[in-house]
């Protein structure tokens, strides 16, 4: 066993490797704070990302650091934990080893006694990976700042374009998928473009932008009740968002999309239609569901591998006959559960009670001052739901510094209606829809 990523002083103490420092991984590590183990948390980025507010970075309301917390800040002071900035490349479940590449490019392996895989999901293009270059998803800070730069650059190009007929595709935004992320993005884009910074342009009116939300299902926000989804629909429409439900995107290219047979020219296609799990299932050679998520036992372990837990979006567990949704709360609760099971086993406790998800509810926000919220029998919409949304999101931000900076940024933009992070940091590429590393 290599010592690279394990603790030094505590040989002989069981080694828990946690892969992924999202909601599931961090909560598993924290649940083990007092357990007689040494914990190694591996992630390829140095920060834990508060995904629920990522759309606000993409729309220039918040800066990247507001919603990202160094993993080391969250876990570095936990005496039995070590944080490793490495990219995990595989797992050998028979030899109980994780292989990874460290930030200086060296390939290494480390043995574990317990393994928690919390490796999340990435965007799925349903077999059309070629769409990715034209229609980015919204999963990482880099995705968010790229989307922000492209949108701002398009406005700058339109401002210098004397032919108003050419403004149209520069200012047509197509969002594929009307789940919470798609709806939140659509509302935030509408608000940003129809806000006070219109007065700063001469030739182009950012407020004239078309924002089109496309959804294959018969209505938006399928995870909410129909009445609440209706309210969100009306709110989006009143902000000028065009909603096309029951409409499938048939093609995506550099010039736009084809939706239900109609071509829509657009330089800004954003893909929030689907996700695919991390390669955790392949690493483990474990049973997966149709999407590739690892089927786990009621105690979140993999069949036949009681030392391997899979938590969060990359796992699949049926709960009252339905698979659990891929949301932060599930990952948080599963991570904590896995940590406690490990601690219990080491203490010689009896087999744990199966994991139970406590569903605290579901929220989506449509612009400033409007949200929908569903929790048990409670259904709220409008300002009260938005206030609840704001308080809950502030409370769940992982560090006091994040709460402070998000709160002060929100307060400032509430008063001034200014967006605070309108930066183009990447050099504006000629074709706004192509990633900078692609050749045209």
Q: Where along the sequence are the contacts to its own copies (CB under 8 A)?
A: 3-5, 7-8, 45-47, 63-66, 68, 70, 72-73, 76-77, 82-86, 102-105, 141-142, 145, 152-153, 156-157, 159-160, 162, 197, 199-203, 400-401, 404-405, 408-409, 412, 416, 418, 420-425, 428, 430-432
Nearest Cα residue to 109 out of 101, 117, 119: 101
Tell me, rounded to whole angstroms, the distance of Cα 413 from its chain centroid: 24
Strands (E), 320-402: 322-323, 362-365, 371-375, 378-382
For residues 381 and 338, what is the distance between their CA atoms, to the nearest angstrom? Answer: 35
DSSP assignments along 190-249, one per residue? HHHHTSGGGGG-SS--GGG-EEEEE-SSSSS-TTS-HHHHHHHHHHHHHTTEEEETT--E
The number of beta carbons lying within 10 Å of the beta carbon of residue 131 is 22
For residues 7 and 395, what is the distance between their CA atoms, to the nearest angstrom? Answer: 32
For residues 440 and 431, what is the distance between their CA atoms, to the nearest angstrom? Answer: 9
Distance of closest approach, residue 131 Cβ to its own copies, in angstroms: 22
For residues 306 and 299, what is the distance between their CA atoms, to the nearest angstrom? Answer: 9
Distance of closest approach, residue 251 Cβ to its own copies, in angstroms: 24
Q: With respect to its own copies, which residue has the nearer C-beta, 198 or 285? A: 198
How is residue 352 written in tokens?
């744990």
Q: With respect to its own copies, which residue has the nearer C-beta, 10 or 329? A: 10
For residues 220 and 200, what is the distance between their CA atoms, to the nearest angstrom? Answer: 34
Q: With respect to its own copies, which residue has the nearer C-beta, 255 or 299? A: 255
Candidate list 156, 159, 184, 343, residue with the active-site label = 184
Tell me, rounded to whole angstroms, the distance of Cα 159 from its chain centroid: 32
State yes or no: is 184 an active-site residue: yes
Q: With respect to its own copies, which residue has the nearer C-beta, 169 or 184? A: 169
Distance of closest approach, residue 317 Cβ to its own copies, in angstroms: 33
Q: With respect to its own copies, which residue has the nearer C-beta, 130 or 200? A: 200
Beta partners for 308? 115
Distance of closest approach, residue 409 Cβ to its own copies, in angstroms: 7
Distance of closest approach, residue 405 Cβ to its own copies, in angstroms: 6
Q: With respect to its own copies, which residue has the nearer C-beta, 90 or 164? A: 164
Residue 415 makes CB contacts below 8 A (sequence gap 6+) with: none
Residue 404 makes CB contacts below 8 A (sequence gap 6+) with: none
For residues 282 and 293, what is the distance between their CA atoms, to the nearest angstrom? Answer: 10
Distance of closest approach, residue 428 Cβ to its own copies, in angstroms: 4
Supply the residues annotated as catalytic.
Answer: 184
């Amino acid at each position: 066993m290599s010592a690279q990523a394990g603790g030094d002083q505590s040989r002989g103490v069981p080694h828990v490797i946690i892969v992924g420092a999202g909601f599931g991984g961090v909560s598993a590590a924290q649940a083990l704070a007092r357990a007689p183990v040494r914990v190694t948390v591996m992630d390829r980025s140095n920060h834990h990302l508060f995904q629920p507010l990522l759309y606000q970075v993409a729309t220039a309301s918040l800066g990247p650091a507001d919603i990202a917390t160094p993993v080391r800040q969250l876990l570095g002071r936990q005496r039995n934990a070590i944080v490793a900035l490495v990219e995990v490349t595989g797992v050998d479940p028979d030899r109980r080893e994780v292989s990874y590449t460290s930030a200086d490019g060296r390939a290494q392996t480390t043995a574990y006694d317990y393994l928690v895989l919390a490796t999340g999901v990435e965007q799925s293009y349903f077999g059309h990976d070629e769409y990715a270059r034209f229609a980015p998803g919204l999963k990482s800070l880099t995705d968010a700042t790229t989307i922000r730069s492209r949108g701002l650059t398009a406005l700058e190009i339109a401002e210098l374009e004397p032919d108003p007929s050419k403004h149209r595709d520069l200012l047509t935004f197509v969002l594929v998928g009307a789940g919470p992320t798609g709806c939140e993005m659509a509302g935030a884009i509408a608000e940003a473009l129809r806000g006070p910074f219109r007065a700063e342009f001469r030739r182009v009116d950012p407020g004239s932008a078309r924002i089109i939300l496309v959804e294959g299902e018969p209505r938006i926000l399928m995870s909410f009740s129909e009445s609440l989804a209706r309210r969100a629909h009306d709110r989006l429409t009143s902000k000028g968002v065009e909603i096309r439900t029951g409409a499938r995107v048939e093609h995506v290219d550099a010039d736009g999309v084809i939706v239900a047979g109609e071509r829509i020219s657009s330089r800004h296609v954003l893909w929030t239609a689907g996700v695919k799990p991390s390669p955790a299932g392949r690493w483990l050679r474990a049973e997966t569901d149709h999407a590739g998520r690892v089927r786990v036992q009621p105690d979140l372990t993999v069949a036949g591998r009681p030392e391997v837990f899979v938590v969060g979006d990359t796992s699949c567990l049926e709960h009252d006959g339905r698979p659990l949704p891929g949301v932060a709360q599930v990952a948080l609760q599963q991570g904590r559960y896995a940590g406690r099971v490990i601690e219990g086993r080491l203490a010689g406790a009896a087999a744990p009670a199966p994991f139970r998800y406590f569903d605290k509810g579901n929220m989506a926000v449509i612009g400033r001052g409007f949200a929908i919220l569903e929790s048990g029998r409670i259904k709220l919409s409008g300002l009260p739901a938005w206030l609840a949304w704001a308080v809950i999101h502030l409370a769940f931000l992982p560090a006091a510094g994040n709460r402070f900076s998000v709160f002060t940024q929100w307060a400032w933009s509430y008063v001034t209606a200014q967006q605070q992070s309108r930066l183009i940091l990447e050099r504006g590429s000629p074709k706004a829809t192509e990633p900078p590393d692609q050749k045209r």
